[in-house]
Copies of this chain bind each other. A is one copy, B any other.
Amino acid sequence: MTERIALLGHVLLGLLQQGPAAGYDLRKLFATTPLMTFSDSPGAIYPALRRLERQGFIKGAVEQGSGLRQRRVFRLTRAGVRELKRWLTLPVTRDDIVHRPDQLVARFGFMDDAVGPAGSVRLLQQLQRELTSYLPELRDYAERNGPGMPLSARLALDSGVRSHEALLEWSRAALATYRKARKEDTP
């Protein structure tokens, strides 16, 4: 009966793994960094942190710092690290690439720190496999149904094809980067 965690929860685990932080820090992160397209609203983040703490994945400690209002600084528990790794190493499904490719990329961003380059490479390979099987089907669907659609609908479909193609090219480039980094480590 593992209690479920929403995407925001997992992303918070990923960020906290990079170092302890208070809710306010995390909000600023969402507000200032591109990607990580989450809301910086307190109504989302504070309740999410509370849930994670209740579930035992993070632990907050009041930090009576240099006089400002008290900050509650959170850090991962061992269970939190475990849960983060579980999420990161979930297999890449067809559904992931069709419905939420950006979540996949966000997940990927945490991998080096949490499970190491080997895990990152594994995810990239799975992503490639799924994409190379999905893309022809998508192109096929576009070719079959495109004629008969209004131009803008046909172009919208084309945008979907292109974005998956771009993702595939990215995964190739990323794998090449890991290969190169590997070679430099063991010359």
Contacts and interface: CB of A to CB of B under 8 A. Distances in A.
A152 B110 contact: yes
A100 B109 CA distance: 19
A153 B109 CA distance: 4
A104 to B, nearest CB: 9
Contact of A158 (B37, B106, B170): B170
Interface stretch (A57-65, A76-84, A111-119): A111-119
Nearest to A117: B151
A156 interface: yes
Contacts of A100: 37
Contacts of A111: 152
Interface in A102-138: 102, 105-106, 108-113, 117, 120, 137-138
Interface in A35-61: 35, 37
A178 B151 CA distance: 8
A159 B167 contact: yes
The 10 A-B residue pairs whose C-beta atoms are closest, nearest first, are A109-B156, A112-B150, A166-B166, A112-B152, A109-B153, A35-B160, A111-B152, A120-B152, A37-B99, A105-B159
Residue among A158, A160, A169 with the highest chain B CB neighbour number at 10 A? A160
A106 B174 CA distance: 29
A8 interface: no
Residue among A100, A117, A153, A159 with the highest chain B CB neighbour number at 10 A? A159
